[in-house]
């Protein structure tokens, strides 16, 4: 093998193992679990992550309340957590390069929302009355 070929192989190895890792390692991961105030997981929560440039990404929690954002660029990210029946929550996280960050969230119930409950019964002799519950906390 000629000296030229050895230099080319050495240079290729240097590019792959020395020069590339910093470029490949810049993206970060943000994960977490969304729960209610009692600690139960909340599937179906929409999480929006927005950076300072206005770019936004969305994730939805799975059946175990977990979410993942992969390949986030380093910087400040605003996270918004939303699901009907729960108060919207927001937090800001600073994400470092090549970091694996966990941001868990607890969502309190939205006691000001107007939700309805529909009941049905096979017995036509069962009578229902309509009730409305409104509560506000100061």
Residue 124 in any domain: the answer is no
Please check the confidence at residue 137 and state whether its pLDDT lies above 80.
no
In this structure, is the dihedral angle defined by the CA atoms of residues 114, 118, 124 and 126, taken in order, positive or negative?
negative
Domain that holds residue 103: 25-107
Residue 33 in any domain: the answer is yes
Digit-coded pLDDT (tens) for 60-104:
999 999 999 999 999 999 999 999 999 999 999 999 999 999 999
In this structure, is the dihedral angle defined by the CA atoms of residues 24, 52, 93 and 62, taken in order, positive or negative?
negative
CATH code for the domain in which residue 102 is found: 2.60.40.1120
Contact (CB, 8 A) for 36 and 107: yes
Residue 8 in any domain: the answer is no
Per the confidence metrics, is the pTM higher than 0.85? no
Residue 72 in any domain: the answer is yes
Residue 38 in any domain: the answer is yes
134: Cα separation from own chain's centroid: 31
Residue 12 in any domain: the answer is no
Residue 9 in any domain: the answer is no
Q: Give the total number of structural domains in the chain.
A: 1
At 11 the pLDDT is 54
Contact (CB, 8 A) for 114 and 135: no
Please check the confidence at residue 136 and state whether its pLDDT lies above 80.
no
Residue 136 in any domain: the answer is no
């Amino acid at each position: 093998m000629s000296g030229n070929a050895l230099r080319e192989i050495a240079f290729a190895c240097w590019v792959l193992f020395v020069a590339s890792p910093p470029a490949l390692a810049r993206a970060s991961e943000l994960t977490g679990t969304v729960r209610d105030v009692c600690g139960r997981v909340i599937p179906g929560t929409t999480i929006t992550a927005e950076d300072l440039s206005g770019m936004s990404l969305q994730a939805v929690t799975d059946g175990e309340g977990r979410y993942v954002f992969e390949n986030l660029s380093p910087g400040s990210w605003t996270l918004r957590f939303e699901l009907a029946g729960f108060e919207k929550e927001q937090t800001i996280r600073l994400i470092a390069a090549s970091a694996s960050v966990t941001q868990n969230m607890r969502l309190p119930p939205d006691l000001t929302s107007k939700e309805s409950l529909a009941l049905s019964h096979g017995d036509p002799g069962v009578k229902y009355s309509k009730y409305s519950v409104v509560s506000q906390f100061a």
